[in-house]
Amino acid sequence: MMKIDKDDLIEKVLIDEESLNLKIKQLAKTLNEHYADRDELILICILKGSVMFMTELAKNLNIETKMEFMSVSSYENNTYSSGNVKILMDLDIDIKDKEVLIVEDIIDTGYTLKKIKETLLKREPKDLKIITLLDKPERREVDIKPDYTGFKIPNDYVVGFGLDYNQLYRNLAYIGVVKRSVYEDIEEIK
């Protein structure tokens, strides 16, 4: 697939860097209060998109944390979820009787997160909560709700701050809306 220049890809900035940083600090403050009396919290980062969010969130937490990673796939080289969720990389530790927080970049249809939550609940954590940077409730196809949400966004294809287009643009310091013409052309080709 041909690389598209950032200026030809981004229609507009949806959430700027300053707003992202402020919201992450607010979320961390809420988590610090909620988990204040707990021994430790296990953060489970859903790769690859959630890395930047989890890193910034963790820097603002003053509670003992462990960082774990899961890699899952449901997009199968599409710009939309297929609903067929596969775990590509699992946790390295046992979460039984532990406080666990799933750290997600975006909740769209909800299929991926529902599968992850079901999988992790079978491992009997003491508590399992979900935090997402972005929530797209308009696209939800399954019943799943985050416990903590950064921003509710419209049904736009977004990139930046961990979210990608063709594995690129994750490193943008903001969340940008992809021009509809970019991904509509690709979907028509498939």
- Catalytic residue numbers, as ranges: 108
As a whole number of angstroms, the distance between CA 145 and CA 14 comes to: 22
Distance of CA 190 to the CA centre of its chain: 26
170, 103, 88: which is closest to 133 by C-alpha?
Answer: 103
The three-state secondary structure class of 28 is helix
Q: Which two tokens stand for residue 117?
A: 């939550």
Q: Which two tokens stand for residue 164?
A: 């990608």
As a whole number of angstroms, the distance between CA 113 and CA 101 comes to: 12
User: What is the distance between the terminal CA atoms of the chain, rounded to a whole angstrom?
Assistant: 12
Strands, sheet with 65-73, edge to edge from the N-terminal-most edge strand: 86-89, 65-73, 41-47, 99-107, 127-135, 148-152
1, 42, 7, 24: which is closest to 159 by C-alpha?
Answer: 7
